[in-house]
C-alpha cells in the first residue's frame, strides 16, 4: 500500500467511526463538513464491494465521530465489519466444487449444549483428522471457515449449539464420517447468479451481533486463506456529484457497472447517514457476469486504465 492509499485508509477508518446507521438522503451528502468523497474497492473472487465514504474538511468532525462511539455502538460496528469480512473471505477462497457442512452435537452426550470452549476443542480435533484424510487421499492443504451458532453465548432463548463450516473439496462421505461428536450434513456450495454465496454467508453469520458474555470469538478460519484485494482508486467525488448519484440510483448503477466492466450491481445501493457527523456512507456489491477468468483480467486492466 503506497502513501496515498495509506492516507485514504486512515480517512476510511475515521469515517467508519461515524456510526452511519440511519437511511441517508441526497441532502445529507452535501454537508459542508465533508471535503469530498473517496472510494474503497474490495475485490474477492467474483465479487466486488464498493464503498463511498466521506473525507471530512477538518479534524473537528473526526473528533466528534470518535467521541460518538460507545461500547454498544462499537459492538455493532465490529459485528457488521465481521459479517462483511466473512463474506469476502468466502468469495475469495471457495467455489461450487467446495463443501458446506452443518455440524451438530449428540444431546445424549451433554446435559445441555457444549460450551464455546468445548466446541472449539472439538473443531480443532476434527480439522486435524480432516487434514490427515486429505493427505492420504493426495488432496491439497485444508482450507476452512466456520461460524458457531447457539449455545452459551446468549442467556435469552438459548438455542442448541451447531457449527456452520465451509471447506475446500473432498469426499463428502469421508468428511461426515470424521465428525465424531454428533451429526453432520454436507452439501456442495451453490453460488447464485447475481448473488454468489452472499445469502449463505448472511445465514451463517446472522447471530454474530448477539451478546457474548465470555468474549470468545465465535468464528474461525484456516491461516492459509487468501485475503481479498483492497485498493483505493485515485479519483474522488464532489459533494454535488455524490448527491446527484443518490438522487438518481439508476445513474449510480450505470456508473458503477461502467467502472467495473463485466460486473453487475447486486440488489440496492445502500446509503446511510450519521447522527453525529455530516455526510453519507454508500455501499454497493457487484458480481461478475462475464465469462471466464480471462475476461475478469481484461476488466481489471480496463478499470485500472480508467483510474489513471
- C-alpha span between 97 and 190 (Å, rounded): 9
Question: Do 135 and 152 meet the contact criterion of CB atoms below 8 Å apart?
Answer: no
Q: Round to whole Å and give the CA distance between 70 and 240.
A: 32
Domain boundaries, the chain: 3-84+229-307, 96-190
Cβ–Cβ under 8 Å, residues 172 and 186: yes
96-190 under CATH 3.30.70, yes or no: yes
In angstroms, the CA 308 to CA 306 distance is 6
Lowest average pLDDT, out of 54-68, 125-139, 189-203, goes to 54-68
Q: What is the DSSP string of 71-92?
A: HHHHHHHHHHHHHHHHHHHHHH
Least confident of 9-13, 60-64, 228-232: 60-64
Q: 283 near 270, Cβ under 8 Å?
A: yes
Average pLDDT over residues 130-142: 96
Where is 67: in which H helix or E strand? helix 59-67
Indicate whether 201 pLDDT > 80.
Answer: yes
The predicted pLDDT at position 285 comes to 96
- Predicted pLDDT of residue 308: 45
What the block records as the C-alpha cell of 112 is: 445441555
Average of per-residue pLDDT values in the chain: 87
Helical packing angle, 239-247 and 249-259, nearest 10°: 110
**Separation of alpha carbons 119 and 162, rounded Å:** 9
Q: 269-285, pLDDT tens digit by residue?
A: 999 999 989 999 999 99
Average pLDDT value for residue range 122-145: 96
How many CB atoms are located within 10 Å of the residue 6 CB? Answer: 11
How much is the pLDDT for 298? 44
| pLDDT at residue 6 in the model | 87
pLDDT at 212: 57
Q: What does the alpha-carbon distance between residue 259 and residue 43 come to, in Å, rounded to a whole number?
A: 13
Can you read off the three cell numbers belonging to residue 50? Answer: 464498493
Residue entry with cell 480439522: 127
Angle, CA 111 vertex, CA 172 and CA 121 arms, to 5° = 50
- Per residue in 1-49, pLDDT (tens digit) is 678 888 889 889 888 888 898 999 999 999 999 999 999 999 999 999 9
| Rounded (10°) angle between helices 3-16 and 59-67 | 50
Q: Is residue 169 pLDDT above 60, yes or no?
A: yes
* Number of other CB atoms surrounding residue 212 within 10 Å: 17
pLDDT tens by residue, 71-127? 778 888 888 899 999 999 999 999 999 999 999 998 877 666 788 888 999 999 999
Contact criterion met (CB below 8 Å) for 113 and 157:
no
Query: Looking up cell 451453490, which residue turns up?
Result: 190
In order of 147, 215, 218, the CA distances from 83 in angstroms are: 11, 17, 12
d(CA 91, CA 88): 5
Amino acid at each position: 500500500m503506497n502513501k496515498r492509499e495509506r492516507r485514504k485508509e486512515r480517512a476510511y477508518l475515521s469515517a467508519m467511526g461515524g456510526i452511519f446507521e440511519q437511511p441517508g438522503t441526497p441532502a445529507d451528502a452535501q454537508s459542508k463538513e465533508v471535503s469530498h468523497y473517496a472510494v474503497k474497492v474490495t475485490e474477492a473472487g467474483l465479487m466486488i464491494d464498493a464503498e463511498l465514504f466521506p473525507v471530512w474538511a477538518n479534524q473537528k468532525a473526526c473528533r466528534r465521530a470518535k467521541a460518538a462511539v460507545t461500547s454498544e455502538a462499537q459492538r455493532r460496528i465490529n459485528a457488521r465489519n465481521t459479517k462483511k469480512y466473512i463474506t469476502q473471505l468466502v468469495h475469495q477462497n471457495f467455489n461450487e466444487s467446495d463443501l458446506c457442512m452443518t455440524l451438530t452435537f449428540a444431546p445424549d452426550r451433554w446435559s445441555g449444549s457444549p460450551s464455546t470452549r468445548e466446541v472449539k476443542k472439538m473443531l480443532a480435533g476434527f480439522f486435524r483428522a480432516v487434514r490427515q484424510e486429505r493427505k492420504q487421499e493426495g488432496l491439497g492443504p485444508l482450507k476452512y471457515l466456520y461460524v458457531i451458532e447457539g449455545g452459551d453465548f446468549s442467556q435469552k432463548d438459548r438455542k442448541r449449539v451447531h457449527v456452520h463450516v465451509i471447506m475446500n473439496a473432498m469426499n463428502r462421505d469421508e468428511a461426515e464420517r470424521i465428525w465424531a461428536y454428533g451429526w453432520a450434513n454436507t452439501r456442495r456450495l451453490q453460488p447464485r447468479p447475481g448473488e454468489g454465496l452472499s445469502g449463505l454467508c448472511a445465514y451463517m453469520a446472522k447471530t454474530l451481533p448477539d451478546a457474548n458474555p465470555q468474549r470468545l470469538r465465535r468464528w474461525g478460519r484456516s491461516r492459509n486463506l487468501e485475503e481479498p484485494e483492497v485498493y483505493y482508486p485515485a479519483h474522488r467525488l464532489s459533494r454535488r456529484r455524490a448527491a446527484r448519484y443518490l438522487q438518481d440510483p439508476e445513474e449510480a448503477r450505470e456508473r458503477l457497472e461502467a467502472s467495473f466492466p463485466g460486473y453487475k450491481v447486486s440488489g440496492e445501493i445502500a446509503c446511510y447517514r450519521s447522527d453525529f457527523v455530516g455526510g453519507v456512507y454508500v455501499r454497493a456489491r457487484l458480481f461478475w457476469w462475464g465469462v471466464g477468468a480471462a475476461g475478469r483480467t481484461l476488466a481489471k486492466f480496463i478499470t485500472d486504465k480508467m483510474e489513471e
